[in-house]
Structure 1
Amino acid sequence: MHHPPESVDPVRLGAYFALIEVTSLLRHAIEQQLREAADLSFVQFQILARLDLHSPTGSHRMTDLADAIVHSRSGLTYQAGLLEKAGLVTRTPTPDDERGTTVTITDAGRALLAEIMPGHTEVVSRLLFEPLSHTDAETLAALLAPVRDHMRSTPPRSAAPRRRRGARPSR
C-alpha cells in the first residue's frame, strides 16, 4: 500500500533551504581562501585540521578519518596521497590491523595549518558569526548538536560493505 507524502511544513522547508544555502556559500568562500592561501582542497584542509586539532598524537586511522570528515575511503586515500607527496602527512600500516593505514600530520603540515588558520578563521567569522550575537552562536550550536548527534547515531559509512566495481545492487 502506497501512502501519499506528508505535506511539507513551510517553516521546516524554509529552514532546510536556508541551511543548505548557508552551508554552500560558506564552503565556497572557505574553498576559495584555502586555494589562494595554500593551494589546498577543502578535504585536504579537513584532514590536516582533524589530525592537528582532534588527535593528541596527530594520527588517525584512515577509515576513522573518512567517517569523521564524511568522505569516501577512496577519495580520502587519494587526498591523503597528495598531502603525503607534499610532505604534509605520512601514511603507515596500522599496527593492530595489517589492512589498515594510519595517517599522521608532519611538522610541515602543522606549520602550514598554523599559517592558513588565521585566514580561515577570518572567513568563518566574517561570513557566519558576524551577523550573530554570541548568544545566537550558542543557540545555533545548541540547535545543531542534537541534529549532528542524531545523524552520527547510525553506523558510519565505513561499516557498510564495499560494493565491488561492476557489481549490481541486489534487489
Structure 2
Amino acid sequence: MEAVSLLQHHVEQQLREEGGLSSVQFQLLARLAHGPGALTMTELADGVVYSRSGLTYQAGLLEKAGLIERGPSPGDERAIQVAITQKGRDLVEHVLPGHAEVVRSMLFDPLAEADVETLGTLMNRVRDHMRALPPRSAAPRRKRSE
C-alpha cells in the first residue's frame, strides 16, 4: 500500500505540473484516446474503476475544458456517450512521455528484467481475478437516507 501511495504521489505531481490533470482525469482521457473510440459513461466508469457520481463530476470538468464531448448514445437512448476531442488527444500525447518516465523510474528501474516479467505476470493474474467479479456499475445503488 505504501509503494502504491508513493507511486501515486509522483504520478499525480507529474500530471498536475505538465497537464493540469488529476490521475483520474488522465486515466479517463487515456482510455478514450487509446481505446475503441467513444464509450458510455458506465463503460468508462467500469474501465477506470471509478464511481458513477465521481465520473460525472470529472467528465463535467473535462468537457468544460474542451477535452471531451458528451452526448446521447446512438445504441441506447438512456446512456450518455463520451468521446475525446482533438484538444484532449493533444494533451494526452503531451503528458504521456513524462507519465511513462515517472512510472519507469519509480517502479521499474529498481527491478531486474526478470523481476519486471514476474511482476507483470502476477499483476495480470490479480487484475483478471478482480475483473472477473461483477463491475461496480452492476452493484445496486445505495438508497439515500431520508
Where in structure 1 do 4 or more consecutive aligned residues deviate above 3 Å?
A: none
Instruction: Determine which of 69, 72, 77 is the counterpart of 1:98.
Output: 77
Q: Provide TM-score, normalisation by structure 1.
A: 0.82
Instruction: Determine which of 6, 25, 32 is the counterpart of 1:44.
Output: 25
Identity, % of aligned pairs? 60
Q: Does residue 1:117 correspond to 2:76, yes or no?
A: no
User: Take 2:90 and 2:112, find their aligned partners in 1: how far apart are those partners?
Assistant: 32
User: Take 1:107 and 1:133, find their aligned partners in 2: how far apart are those partners?
Assistant: 38
Q: Does residue 1:88 correspond to 2:67, yes or no?
A: yes
Deviation at 1:36, TM superposition (A): 0.8
The higher-RCO structure (CA 8 Å, 6+ apart) is 2
User: Take 1:100 and 1:162, find their aligned partners in 2: how far apart are those partners?
Assistant: 17
User: Take 2:35 and 2:113, find their aligned partners in 1: how far apart are those partners?
Assistant: 24
User: Take 1:30 and 1:24, find their aligned partners in 2: how far apart are those partners?
Assistant: 10
Query: Which consecutive residues of structure 2, in runs of 5 or more, have no partner in the other structure?
Result: none
Aligned residues: 146
Which one-letter code corresponds to 2:6 in the other structure?
L
Deviation at 1:135, TM superposition (A): 2.1
| CA RMSD, 1 decimal | 1.1
Partner in structure 1 of residue 143 of structure 2: 164
Which one-letter code corresponds to 2:48 in the other structure?
I
User: Take 2:125 and 2:132, find their aligned partners in 1: how far apart are those partners?
Assistant: 10
Query: Which consecutive residues of structure 1, in runs of 5 or more, have no partner in the other structure?
Result: 1-19
User: Take 2:18 and 2:145, find their aligned partners in 1: how far apart are those partners?
Assistant: 40
